[in-house]
Every structure is written in structure tokens, then in C-alpha cells.
Amino acid sequence: LSVYIFDVDQGTESKCYDACANAWPPVLVPQGAQLGGNMGVTTRKDGSQQLTHNGKPIYLFAGDGASGDINGDGLGGVWHIIVK
């Protein structure tokens, strides 16, 4: 699956909620997940744990229907693919 970062996010804080999160679902991890390297977590408003890459929250894109799709890359000039 392709994952994305959102330029509007500030540090590890997600700014993508409600309609945004419906189109760009956050990549969630279980509480207490052990991560290494450039991967980490941030806590969302609802208490869920969102995966981060180099300190930036990461997301999926609802418009990606198949593995390898990168339909969200560059949307609005603020969404950028990090892994596909």
C-alpha cells in the first residue's frame, strides 16, 4: 500500500480529521507498538496511535484502489507519497 504525508501537519500533530480523515485514513498502530529507525507514533485526538515517519504522521488515500496505486501523490500540492 502507498502511504503519504500531509504538509499541513505541524510536527507530529495531525491536522487531518473528520472529512479529511475519511479521504486520508491515518495509519494506526496498536498501543505500545515497538518501532525503530525513522518510524514512531503520535497520539490523535481520540487517543488512537498514528504511525509517523521521520516525525510526520502518515496516511493512506481512499482513492488508491489497488496495491501500487499512487493517486494521492501531489493532490492539492500538500499530499506526498513516501512509500508505495
Contacting residues for 55 by C-beta, under 8 A, at least 6 apart: 11, 12, 40
Q: Would you place residue 34 in the very low, low, confident or very high pLDDT band (cuts 50, 70, 90)?
A: confident
Question: What pLDDT is stored for residue 55 in this prediction?
Answer: 94
Residue 80 has pLDDT above 70, yes or no: yes
Of 1-5, 7-11, 71-75, 80-84, give the lowest mean pLDDT range: 80-84
Distance from C-alpha of 51 to C-alpha of 10, rounded to nearest angstrom: 15
- Confidence check: pLDDT of 56 > 80: yes
Single pTM value for the model: 0.92
